[in-house]
Amino acid sequence: MAQGPSPPRRVLLGMGAPDDIRLTIAAAAEFAGVVRAELLCLLVEQENLINAAGLPFARAYGFGGIAAPLTVQSVQDHFDSLARAADKALAEACTRANVAWQMLRPQGEIMRELSGTARQGDILVVAPRDLRESAFGFIGALRLLLDKAEAVVLPSAAAQMQGPVVAVGGDRAATIAASIAEALGRPLETIDLAELRQPRRRASVVVAPLEAMVALGEDEWLRRMGALQANAVIVAS
């Protein structure tokens, strides 16, 4: 009998935009607890900000839309503040989930840093905003990450987990979804792409192959995922 994928050794969390820090950390810690893996957080210090620091036209906007020069020191202060907030949130979330964790602060572009750090079989957690704003585009970034990763988890701000774990076609998606449903104690439902197009009730987690997103198109995919109000969407390789 063919065996499904072995449990991941690591959950790899990539963070760029400060607005999504607590959401992505909570999702990553919870998922790492479910699959019993260690959590490695990459807090990427974006090279575009570092390179822009000190240029005459570079400005940082604070509360009230007040502009100030973007200096090397202000960029470093920004990343240091972000790191302190992330460190605190990681400690709290990983303690609750009983997960071992560490944080690294590489400089570069978030998708390239994630791809370069990922090992075969890792699970990656990334905020959808970071995918949309990457140089690769939403689907291009997923393709890059899934070259090594087993799956990419896209957390959402859904307030409460409701409904089944839904697998959208494909053996890989079904295997991952079954493991999550068992760990969460949620019912499992498997549908095909045609059924995904139809109105549905809520889902707690959705697992689908990247090909399903490509077939629907990015905009329609995001619309359907929003309608399901899932706590997380997992895109499988």
Q: How high is the mean pLDDT in each 10-residue block of the chain (237 residues)?
A: 56 78 88 90 75 48 48 75 91 95 90 92 90 90 94 80 85 89 90 81 89 90 86 89
Q: What is residue 41's predicted lDDT score, i.e. its pLDDT?
A: 95
DSSP string, 30-58: HHHHHHT-EEEEEE-EEHHHHHHTT-TT-
Write the class of the CATH domain 10-55+67-236.
alpha beta
Q: What is residue 117's predicted lDDT score, i.e. its pLDDT?
A: 94
Tokens 């210090």 belong to residue: 45
165-168 and 188-191 as β-strands: parallel, antiparallel, unpaired? Answer: parallel
Tokens at residue 60, please?
């940082």
Tokens at residue 63, please?
């509360």
What distance in Å separates the CA atoms of residue 215 and residue 221, rounded to the nearest whole number? 9
Domain boundaries, the chain: 10-55+67-236
- 200 near 229, Cβ under 8 Å? no
Q: What is residue 50's predicted lDDT score, i.e. its pLDDT?
A: 54
Q: Tell me if residue 70 falls in helix, strand or coil.
A: coil
What distance in Å separates the CA atoms of residue 121 and residue 1, rounded to the nearest whole number? 21
Q: Using alpha carbons, list the distances in angstroms from residue 235 to 61, 127, 196.
A: 34, 13, 15
